[in-house]
Structure 1
Amino acid sequence: MRYAFSTLGVPGRSVAETAELAAAHGFDGVELRAHPEEPLHPGTPSPERAEAVRTFAAAGVEVLAVAGYAKVAAVGEDEPVVAELLSLIVLAAELGARYVRVFPGGGNQPTADADRLAVRRLAAAAPFAERHGVRLLLETHDSHQTGAAIGRVLDQVGHRAVGALWDVLHTWLGGEAPADTRRALAGHLGYVQVKDVASAGELSPLALGAGALPLAEAVAEAPSDGWLCWEYEKRWYPDAPDLPGLLTGGRAYLAGLVPGGRTDEEVVAGQAEDPSRSGSTACRKGSPWA
């Protein structure tokens, strides 16, 4: 199992600081929030992208995903949405990221209409993503909160360059049991975002294991070559404790959830025995989480 955290949890950090945090706490990768507030986004010049690649490589940290804000089911013309998808795909490819996260964003329009928009736009961008070695992942979020809703869209797209990102919070808020989400996303799942909160009415982020989310159930059948990403939403809750102080405990908690998961001590020991293993290893192709 490989572990990442989202830069949503460390707002204002430079690429170098983020890479250092990940490496120091035994995380294999990071999910980069691709917003103009951040160092890396579709408007970032090529030289800065190249420097970021060198920085992460030197730290032995993989860029797991580019977390974009395209809304594929939003009302409006297709062209600007597809253009945004293509720009995110290029960014991911240049950073060596395997995934691009996108949102549904269907709003209050009829479900069938939102589905049609999402299917059409994802299908339009899928061949471009495949040529660049990137997979678009539609997150369980907003108008398509459950695995059933996301799976319904992805079954219609029917392209291997388009999959799902399972945000455990949103499927839980949608009343969907983890086993049902897993079945709905079978064959589509890229990776899982984990987090923890006190209740449906109190969504301020907590340390993993300190809240109400069914994290153990969500990762119960996680394959050994999959990824878990901790999305700690510090950006939206500035009064929440800072993520760096929680990373050691969070990394240990994730390892404890997964059968055969490596503890921090085992990670450090393995790196000492073989320094070349301090970085991440790519998921095997063909995995339903890959």
Structure 2
Amino acid sequence: MTHRLALSTLGLPGMPMPDVARLAGASGYQGVELRAHPEEPVHPGIGPHERAAAKREFEAHGIEVLTVAGYARVTHPLAPHELPELVRLAHDLGASYVRVFPGGEGTPDADERAVQQLTRAAQLAEDSDVRILLETHDSHRTGAAAGALLNRVNRKGIGAIWDVMHTWLGGEPPAESFAHLAPHLGYTQVKDIASAEDTTPLPLGTGVLPLAECVALLPADGWLCWEYEKRWYPEADPFPELLAAGRDYLAGLTGA
């Protein structure tokens, strides 16, 4: 088997789900990471009809809903419903994963809070056949930091997303990042940027991130998700126009 490819709807802000499904299929991707924010068509506030319709749309185009990309920050106090609602949305869509962030509070008390909140949510995730994945980001941007927190949770329903930009910005070599994250890894987010000072998204392979080195470390049957942060950089090139070339670039790295 070879890596399966997904695209993140962060690069397609506000695009209706039928259009996302058609675009992903036409561009040669097998999955989507859905940004689950009230700005978007799919988020925890939508009802059963909208959930079922979105699921049917992706199934009709042969596209897997890989992840519900939520915005829960687990080092911060969460409302009791926050993680359960994301897990239920993922379950209703047939998604394998829920994405959460650390949240920027890298203190012992905040880490303890994150461990407790993730541990409480683990059973529901496991019962729902969903994994909650902590992204390497903000206060836990390195594999060492995220892995240390996840080692304390140590539950099947909790894992990691390796965002290769953040570990690189944290000064961590890819082999070290992977060693820390491998026991927990759900999938890997790829992207490219011009420099540490200019993180405007670029077409894959045209920037400074060590993508080939990262991909070479990964299991051959895992997912790679291209997270193109158009939502935060409106001046970036339109994502749809880059998707086919990005697929070809990733296929070249993976030998597909």
Superposition TM-score tier, normalisation by shorter sequence: over 0.9
Question: Once the two structures are superposed, what CA deviation does each residue of 1:225-271 show, in whole Å capped at 9, x if it has no partner?
Answer: 1000000000000011100000010000011111x32xxxxxxxxxx
Q: CA deviation at 1:83?
A: 1.9
Identity of aligned residues (%): 60
Larger Rg, first or second structure (1 or 2) = 1
Q: Indicate whether 1:230 and 2:226 are aligned.
A: yes
Q: Distance in 1 between matches of 2:111 and 2:252?
A: 38
The 5-angstrom pairing of residues 114-263 of structure 1 reads: 114-258=110-254, 260-261=255-256
How far the C-alpha of 1:115 sits from its partner, in A, is 1.3
Distance in 1 between the 2:182 and 2:168 partners? 18
Which residue identity does 1:38 align to in structure 2? E
Within the candidate set 101, 104, 112, 1:103 is matched to 101
Match for residue 91 of structure 1 among 67, 89, 92 = 89
Aligned residue type for 2:240: P
In structure 2, runs of 5+ residues without a counterpart are none
2:220 and 2:121 map into 1 onto residues whose CA distance is 30
Q: Segments of 4+ in structure 1 off by > 4 A?
A: none
CA distance in 2 between partners of 1:146 and 1:96 (Å): 29
Shift of 1:221: 2.4
State the alpha-carbon separation in 1 of the partners of residues 246 and 166 from structure 2.
20
Show CA shifts across 1:87-127 (max 9, x none).
000000000000000000033x52x2221011000000000
Give distance in 2, aligned partners of 1:224 and 1:203: 28
Shift of 1:23: 0.3
Q: Partners of 1:103 and 1:136 in 2: how far apart?
A: 10
Residue equivalent to 2:29: 27
CA RMSD in angstroms, aligned pairs only:
0.9
TM-score by length of 2: 0.97
- Give the aligned partner of residue 4 of structure 1: 6
Q: 1:10, CA displacement in angstroms?
A: 0.6
2:61 equivalent among 59, 62, 67: 59
Match of 1:13 among 9, 12, 15: 15
Q: What letter matches 1:85 in structure 2?
A: L
Aligned pairs, number: 254
